Amino acid sequence: MTIGIGVVGAGIMGADHARTLATHVGGAELVAVSDPDERRASEAARANGARRHYTDGFALIEDEAVEAVVIASPDHTHAGLVLACLRTGKPVLCEKPVAPTVGECLELVEAERRTGRMI
Ligand SMILES: NC(=O)c1ccc[n+]([C@@H]2O[C@H](COP(=O)([O-])OP(=O)(O)OC[C@H]3O[C@@H](n4cnc5c(N)ncnc54)[C@H](O)[C@@H]3O)[C@@H](O)[C@H]2O)c1
């Protein structure tokens, strides 16, 4: 069984996550990469065997082939993207910091608690 993973952000960390998922993580299939810089997104996707690339991280999260998400975009984008993952019920690994302020971090913890799936 494989899990389709999407990576949001194709900079230093995102490209590294994409490469790691494609080469070292059994059971993971990199299916999509997003970055507002389309060339960066397409290169990270192509280099790591992903079928699709997006310029919009929210569109990647909505992609049915994406079953779990890694967020590696800039700090200020994290909270909205994590919330979108929680709304769609997709497991998410977010680069640190999860959000730039304590208040936003607490909002995300509460949002996850409301899903009833918090470990
Ligand atoms: N570089 C590190 O050593 C390191 C270590 C730990 C955590 N982090 C965290 O990882 C995250 C990414 O850092 P980085 O060093 O890869 O940055 P980076 O600047 O190399 O890459 C960020 C990428 O995100 C893209 N981007 C911008 N807005 C976006 C959006 N709305 N949606 C999707 N992508 C978007 C940019 O075009 C860029 O390609 C940050 O939250 C950072 O704090 C970085």
Structure confidence by residue, pLDDT tens digits, 24-53: 999 999 999 999 999 999 999 999 999 999
Taking CA atoms only, the protein residue closest to ligand 1 atom 4 is 13
Residue type, 7: V
- pTM here? 0.97
CA of 95 from ligand 1 middle (Å) equals 8
CA of 11 from ligand 1 middle (Å) equals 5
Domain boundaries, the chain: 3-115
CA of 1 from ligand 1 middle (Å) equals 30
Assign 17 to helix, strand or coil.
helix
Name the CATH superfamily, with its identifier, for domain 3-115: NAD(P)-binding Rossmann-like Domain (3.40.50.720)
For residue 118, what pLDDT is reported? 74
Q: Which conformational region is residue 89 in: left (phi greater than 0), alpha (psi within -120 to 50 degrees), or beta?
A: left
For residue 109, what pLDDT is reported? 95
> In angstroms, rounded to a whole number, what is the distance separating the alpha carbons of residues 119 and 106?
16
What is the tens place of the pLDDT at every residue in 59-106?
Answer: 999 999 999 999 999 999 999 999 999 999 999 999 999 999 999 999
One DSSP character per residue, 53-106 reads: EES-HHHHHH-TT--EEEE-S-GGGHHHHHHHHHHHT--EEEPSPS-SSHHHHH
